């Protein structure tokens, strides 16, 4: 693969702390200005405090002042590349809108979709 965003997500996956699930995930989010922010999942013995790779990447970007997101790559070791969980879909929608998703596995298989394709009726500020 020669896509820098996918390579960044695969590399971020290596930093995952997943001693309980053994399900390592890496994410990399690209901005319109060409920056890439990465994240990995970090588990905790009290599972509710676990955070997903996608949210780490988004929160890192936002904390550094970026909000102009183009696409996000998510890397797992599933036979079929895995989409983001429900909590991550909500965060992605609020901060990124209908962002392009690139789902990839360690064997190089990848799929692309828009967030709206897997999150057809999001809750957002327009409903408040």
Catalytic residues: 54
Q: Burial of 28 by CB count in 10 Å (0-12 exposed, 13-18 middle, 19+ buried)? A: buried
CA gap 102, 30 in Å, rounded: 11
Backbone torsions φ then ψ of 80, nearest 5 degrees: -100, 125
């Amino acid at each position: 693969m020669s896509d820098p965003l996918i390579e960044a997500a695969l590399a971020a996956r290596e930093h995952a702390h997943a001693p309980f699930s053994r399900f390592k995930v890496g994410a990399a989010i690209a901005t319109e200005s060409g920056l890439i922010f990465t994240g990995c999942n970090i588990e905790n013995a009290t599972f509710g405090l676990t955070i997903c790779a996608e949210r780490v990447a988004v929160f890192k970007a936002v904390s550094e002042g970026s909000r102009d997101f183009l696409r996000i790559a998510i890397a797992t070791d599933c036979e079929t590349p895995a989409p983001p969980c429900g909590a991550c879909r909500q965060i992605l929608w609020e901060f990124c809108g209908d962002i392009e998703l690139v789902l990839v596995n360690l064997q190089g298989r990848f799929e692309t979709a828009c967030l709206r394709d897997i999150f057809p009726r999001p809750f957002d500020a327009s409903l408040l």
